[in-house]
Amino acid sequence: MKNLIRIHDFLKSLPTIYFIGSIVCIDYVIYSMLFGIYSLLGIDIMLNKSYIMEFESTTEMIFILIFFAPIVETFIFQFLLINVLLKIRLIKSAIAVVVISAIIFAIGHSYNIYGNVYIFISGILLSYSFILYIKKRGSAFWVVTAIHGLMNFIACLPNLINS
């Protein structure tokens, strides 16, 4: 727990651009570790394949996954959900709010259970970032939207390179 508090204090002290980069890097490291474990176990999480086939062009994929989806999902899963949970004061713990938001974020994505484990962890990072920037009186919505867009960009990168 002490190490988590140190990490939190470090992240909280970062300028916004470094915070965004740090969260995206943490997400990528987690994704890489999970992908490695799943590959060793012979599990295909198919994070990108189901989406890519639905797009008619690379431009459409970039617009939807890197710009449109992060704005809409940040509005629904962080802005609305977290603000409602914080305002009703039924849940007093910020950690519980983060976890609830992350669970609903993962449920809102239609991957298999293995892919949703990663999405849940990403949801924790996004919700944590949102609450942190509410407390910092920063632009929580746009910080989380930028993080989410960069996460999606990294997830789409192999498909962008191959197209």
Give pLDDT, residue 46: 62
Dist. CA 79–CA 155, nearest whole Å: 23
Give pLDDT, residue 52: 46
Which tokens sit at 54? 């639905």
Give pLDDT, residue 51: 47
Q: What residue ranges do the domains of the chain occupy?
A: 2-162
Q: Encode the chain (163 residues) as per-residue pLDDT tens digits.
A: 789 899 999 999 999 999 999 999 999 999 999 989 998 998 877 654 554 457 778 888 889 989 999 999 999 999 999 999 988 877 788 999 999 999 999 998 877 788 889 999 999 999 999 999 999 998 999 999 999 999 999 988 877 787 6
The dihedral through the CA atoms of 87, 93, 97, 100 has a sign that is negative
DSSP assignment of 37-83 equals: HHHHTT----TTHHHHTT-SSHHHHHIIIIIIHHHHHIIIIIIIHHH
Give pLDDT, residue 123: 97
86 to 30, 67, 132: CA distances (angstroms): 28, 27, 13
